[in-house]
Amino acid sequence: MKTVTGLFDDYSDASTAVSALEASGVPSSDISIVSNNADGRHRTETNAAEGAGTGAGIGAAVGGVGGLLTGLGIMAIPGVGPVVAAGWLAATAAGAVAGAVAGGAAGGLIGALTESGVPEAHAHVYAEGVRRGGTLVTAKVDDSLRAEAEAILRKSNWVDPDQRRAVYAEQGWSEFDDTLDPYGPAEIEQERLRYRR
């Protein structure tokens, strides 16, 4: 199994990618989605890691009609803030954060990504991208589906992690820091406008 990952500036692009991955034969259980929810656009009454790991059923509220997207739940990630999330990556990150000692919570999302084969430099960009309002889609795929899965992510307007790292670096950023305050709704909207196509 290989891991393919895509960062999206727009939740609808990420949702399209998840649906396309499922349609291509990638099981919902092998796909994860983590989307910033600081602006409260995704409303639910579910509870954090429970919804992220098991699927608490708020998909209709966030645009999903089936598969993984029906299992989105709300959780909090240090440095990122509130997110809607579902799938194995969300459950792994939630477990790592819940069990982390002070100063070690960064291992939550970054650790879950790197343990699944995502290069650490990209994991930091992905975590920062979610912090700034983005949505992350990660899938475990058979080697034979890897090229197709990566093509699906690219066609869905994914963010090139090397290019985004360069943009962040121009702003003085070097890596994700979970001790920083999460972005608020106004800052997230400013980020979204910066990258809107």
Q: What is the pLDDT of residues 11-54, one digit of tens each?
A: 999 999 999 999 999 999 999 999 999 877 776 544 433 333 33
| Domain that includes residue 136, residue range | 2-195
Is 0.85 topped by the overall pTM?
no
Residue with the bigger pLDDT between 157 and 57: it is 157
Residue with the bigger pLDDT between 54 and 135: it is 135
Amino acid letter for position 26: V
Q: What is the pLDDT of residues 63-102, one digit of tens each?
A: 344 555 555 677 788 888 888 888 888 766 655 444 443 3
Total domains in the chain come to 1
